[in-house]
Amino acid sequence: MQKPSNKLRTTARMSCRFMEQVRFLAVVSVFLVGAALMTTPAHAAHYDDDEVAQGFYKTVFGAEIKALSWGGQSKRVKKYVAPVKVWIDNRARLNRLRTVRRFIKSLPISIPGLQVRMANNRKDANFHIYVVDSEDYVRTVQDEVYNDRSMEVPGQCIVRVLSRRSGILRSDAVIVSDQGRSVFHRCMVEEILQGLGPVNDDKSLVHSVFNDESSFDYFTPYDRLILNMLYSPHLRPGMTLKQVKPMTPDLLLYARKVTGLR
* Digit-coded pLDDT (tens) for 37-81: 333 344 445 899 999 999 999 999 965 544 333 356 678 999 999
CB 36 within 8 A of CB 53: no
What span, in angstroms and rounded, lies between the C-alpha atoms of 41 and 45? 12
Number of H helices, E strands in the chain: 7, 6
What span, in angstroms and rounded, lies between the C-alpha atoms of 103 and 214? 20
CB 141 within 8 A of CB 160: no
What span, in angstroms and rounded, lies between the C-alpha atoms of 198 and 64? 12
CB 174 within 8 A of CB 137: yes
Encode pLDDT of 230-260 as tens digits.
999 999 999 999 999 999 999 999 999 999 9
Side chain identity at 152, as an amino acid letter? E
**Residues with Cβ < 8 Å from 195, sequence gap 6 or more?**
29, 127, 159, 161, 171, 172, 173
What span, in angstroms and rounded, lies between the C-alpha atoms of 94 and 133? 8
Find, among 55, 57, 75, 56, the residue nearest to 13 by Cα. Answer: 75
Encode pLDDT of 128-158 as tens digits.
999 999 999 999 999 999 888 988 888 889 9
Strand ranges in the chain using DSSP code E only, listed in sequence order: 27-31, 84-90, 116-118, 127-132, 157-164, 167-176
What span, in angstroms and rounded, lies between the C-alpha atoms of 207 and 128? 27
SS3 111: coil
Helical H runs in 41-132?
A: 49-60, 97-110
- pLDDT above 80 for 213: yes
Over the chain, what is the mean pLDDT? 84
Q: Which CATH superfamily is domain 27-259 in?
A: Collagenase (Catalytic Domain) (3.40.390.10)
Q: What does each C-alpha distance from 206 to 43, 44, 170 come to in angstroms?
A: 8, 10, 29
- Which phi and psi (to 5°) does residue 132 adopt? -135, 165
Residue 71 or 220, more confident: 220
What span, in angstroms and rounded, lies between the C-alpha atoms of 72 and 29? 18
What span, in angstroms and rounded, lies between the C-alpha atoms of 84 and 78? 13
